Amino acid sequence: MTGRLPPVSELATGTLVLCVVAAVFVAGSAPHRPPMAVVWVLIGAAALLLAAGVVLLARTPSFAWRSFFLVARWSLVGYAVIAGMIEYAFLYDHTPQPQLAAMSAVLALFAVDVPLVLAFAVARHQPASG
């Protein structure tokens, strides 16, 4: 890949950091109710960073899209299974609804963000597809 690539890895790392901080807010205040406004602001900021990374990557003129989608597809399947198992644990433990909603959003961001990073890391070192 020649040319300058967008900062997808950096934005995705920021997304993960904000997701972890949101999850710590939720888990750290158990058994009491966490400050949900703070949690949702963190989740919203994480979603914005993820969306910015996806938009910037989609606007890249020449990129190894075939390699990207090959890696993204299979890693997305794996991380969807991981997120589903964690979600099941939350449901099985009867997590209160506000915390469940926030943790479900964090898991959804996680399940999309990590495959994006993996696929980008592989495809950035492949020749651009035409």
* Segment 40-74, tens digit of pLDDT: 999 999 999 999 999 999 999 889 999 999 999 99
- Count other Cβ atoms within 10 Å, centred on residue 60: 18
For residues 39 and 42, what is the distance between their CA atoms, to the nearest angstrom? Answer: 5
Q: What DSSP element (H or E) covers 97?
A: helix 97-123
pLDDT tens column, 1-45: 456 899 999 999 999 999 999 999 998 887 788 889 999 999 999
For residues 121 and 67, what is the distance between their CA atoms, to the nearest angstrom? Answer: 10
pLDDT at 44: 98
Query: Is it true that the peptide bond before 35 is cis, omega within 30 degrees of 0?
Result: no
For residues 65 and 127, what is the distance between their CA atoms, to the nearest angstrom? Answer: 10
pLDDT tens column, 73-107: 999 999 999 999 999 999 999 999 999 999 999 99
pTM beyond cutoff 0.85: yes
Query: Is it true that the peptide bond before 34 is cis, omega within 30 degrees of 0?
Result: no
